[in-house]
Structure 1
């Protein structure tokens, strides 16, 4: 096995494997992986390749309180820029929380890494974390593929994930930004989002997305809607609090009839099931058109 293949396989095993492989590149990089240094926080700059764009301030303050009480359990990892300056590779939450806790120094592993290696380390460490939202993971995969000039297959080998997993995450980035934000904010699940991807119309995607939130559609219900309205028009059914009480079956009837007649349709019913269906028309000509379709 050549050196290139060894390096690729180590990346798939995580950040520690990357650092271990890199330390063999030359004599100057041979630093004891079990030793740490206490480095002044003022000498450490943030990682410019950090793929995570948002940090929860409340959770950072909670971590700061924990650090004040028990200290740093896991050292951060930095690279040395010059005699007095370091740059963060991994551990940005611990780094930020230590500042909040008014610490002067922080324990750190010191490594030597070029910009590409820095990027790979930051991305791979973030991908392997469990608290990332699906869009952050997808963006990390996208950056790793684009900026490190990898194929999806090579990317899957580096991070130790199936290629289909990477493909499914990347597909989430094709969704409208409104839906991506909903996924970030946990308004919908990844299962909902993956079902929406199969719908060709962006308008339909947005309308169904809004109905997921307002009507509480399950993933299975959205999967059924994605089949029904992949290429046909979908009209949002949420109009008032009353419409929230409609079951999925009633919602589907509204969609089917509305699309068949190209008119707004409303259903009202009581607990016993008795009710009425209202079909809206614009004028006499529109009414005649609807009657013709119904074939009365």
Structure 2
């Protein structure tokens, strides 16, 4: 056993290894390359380059994160031992490590690269710059690889099998799926060159009545084929077509960008279909993870995104409630499906329209479980911390122990003097909080000693750059109060400024958790006007917020669970 960069290297038995829980990310395995790998391992008498594994809950087992080929070759050859780098990793770290390892293989196909690009864009929530940087690619290379994924599976398979060239696939990527499949047969059977396909593609036309964008500017365009239709044709609007597809594509892309922008205002993160494989996302709902988990966790989570279709003829269609954190989703589903899980009981009771029992046993079974942590939008987190800070300021600004504690903790850092009741660490916040149980007399005496130390001929400045985080300290101070939750709950208010930072699904989740939806639907005035919560929730985010604020609902006993997590 030895150690490389703090990663344990050990010889393991092949029977100790199990596949990575999220599977192997490689699109396909090159048979010839695998055969050569097996031969080289046979000649060497074993694997020379360790595989990468991580420990499992079973102490005798390890998951193979990277090095599937070497592991499988060893099994094929009957080798019992294999060297391995043992590195503790969470699922996300392991998955990313596997993707990176697969990208440095010589036999990686361009389709493998495209799939990897797609996975990294999904992981980075549509951020091309961050994904390209992590991959070590230029953004142009990333864009080019993603563009290939606009091709249907038949085209990608033909490219993988070298039946067509990348130039063919690039041109076909702008066609509809039906046209891609039909043209692919001609390319292969008639041996079309890339140049010939380009010429044929240049003659293609698209009917203007199928355009997503406003076609009023197309009326007088010389590329509008309606100018070539005879005067006795009465179906001009249906037959008019665009003969300049480069212009058509530009206008369609601009229209799609605007639709995406509008969707982002309502939903939050929106990812194009080409940027996120169906294998890298799951539909999340109260049926899959439980009502409380969905409303209090998943609805407002940054990993809950909307997928927007960008395929030819389907541009702008959206698919909501798509979770792109496979690891967290799997944990939520598992928690929901655990035996005797109370969320499942509640969901099934509601689905079967059965009123919950008021018996003692029923009250025990319906206790709300703790939701799995969510990735709350950063804007919401900042507002929550600001609210706690403001409430803490009202309480602690004139508290003697706090004021004197700040003075003493500051002097401890700038002079080096530390009273006995301070923590061993140099944390300013911890030292201030350590003053709370100390009498004012003791704190004042410590301040006097710090002053004496500061004027001593032996005094020296410990850190002239001292700055402390006021907000973090205020939140920590608030956490020391027994009634902190009551104070925060009373202060939280769903104003327009607060709600606009949530996604539409997040706002809906708040309303359901607070009971707003039920109160809105039970209102006699709303019943008479045929207004329902589902109808206002379907509006744009701005109109949804206006409808919420216009309804008289008592929010005084509610605050989102996420705000209390700052107190931990």
User: TM-score, normalising length from structure 1?
Assistant: 0.62
Residue 147 of structure 1: how far off its partner (Å) = 3.9
Q: Which residue in 1 is equivalent to 2:37?
A: 63
1:123 to 99, 103, 124: 99
Aligned with residue 203 of structure 1, among 146, 168, 178: 178
The Cα shift of 1:207 comes to 2.5
Give runs of ≥4 in structure 1 deviating > 6 Å: none
Is residue 75 of structure 1 aligned with residue 88 of structure 2? no
- Whether 2:155 is the aligned partner of 1:179: answer yes
Unaligned regions of 5+ residues in structure 1, if any? 1-29, 233-259, 261-296
Partner of 1:96: 72
- SS of the counterpart of 2:149? helix
CA distance in 1, matches of 2:157, 2:148: 11
- The secondary structure found in structure 2 opposite 1:130 is coil
Greater Rg by CA: 2
Q: Given the alignment of the two structures, is residue 214 of structure 1 paired with residue 186 of structure 2, yes or no?
A: no
Distance 1:119 1:106 in 2: 21
Shift of 1:61: 3.7
Cα distance per residue 1:111-147 (max 9 Å; x no partner): 1111010111111222333312222222222222224
Counterparts of 2:164 and 2:105, CA distance in 1 = 20
CA-CA distance at 1:148 after TM superposition: 5.0
1-side partners of 2:54 and 2:8: how far apart? 14
Q: Is contact 1:49–1:118 with CA below 8 Å preserved after alignment? A: no
> 2:61 & 2:205 partners in 1: Cα distance?
55
Count of aligned positions: 203
Deviation of residue 223 (structure 1)?
2.2
Aligned to 2:4: 32
Offset from partner CA, 1:222-261 (integer Å, 9 cap, x none): 22222222648xxxxxxxxxxxxxxxxxxxxxxxxxxx9x
The answer for unaligned runs of 5 or more in structure 2 is 208-227, 229-568
Matched-pair contact (CA < 8 Å) for 2:159–2:166: yes
Match of 1:42 among 15, 20, 44: 15
SS of the aligned residue for 1:174 comes to coil
Question: Residues 80 and 87 of structure 1 are in contact (CA less than 8 Å); yes or no, is this contact kept in structure 2?
Answer: yes
Indicate conservation of the 8 Å contact 2:150/2:174, yes or no.
no
Q: Distance in 2 between matches of 1:65 and 1:84?
A: 29
| Higher mean C-alpha displacement, 125-134 vs 111-120 | 125-134
> Is residue 126–residue 137 contact of structure 1 (8 Å, CA) maintained in 2?
no
Question: Higher RCO, 1 or 2 (CA under 8 Å, sep at least 6)?
Answer: 1
Q: Distance in 1 between matches of 2:104 and 2:203?
A: 36
**2-side partners of 1:119 and 1:98: how far apart?**
23
Cα displacement (A) at 1:108? 1.2
Query: What TM-score do the two structures reach when normalised by structure 2?
Result: 0.33
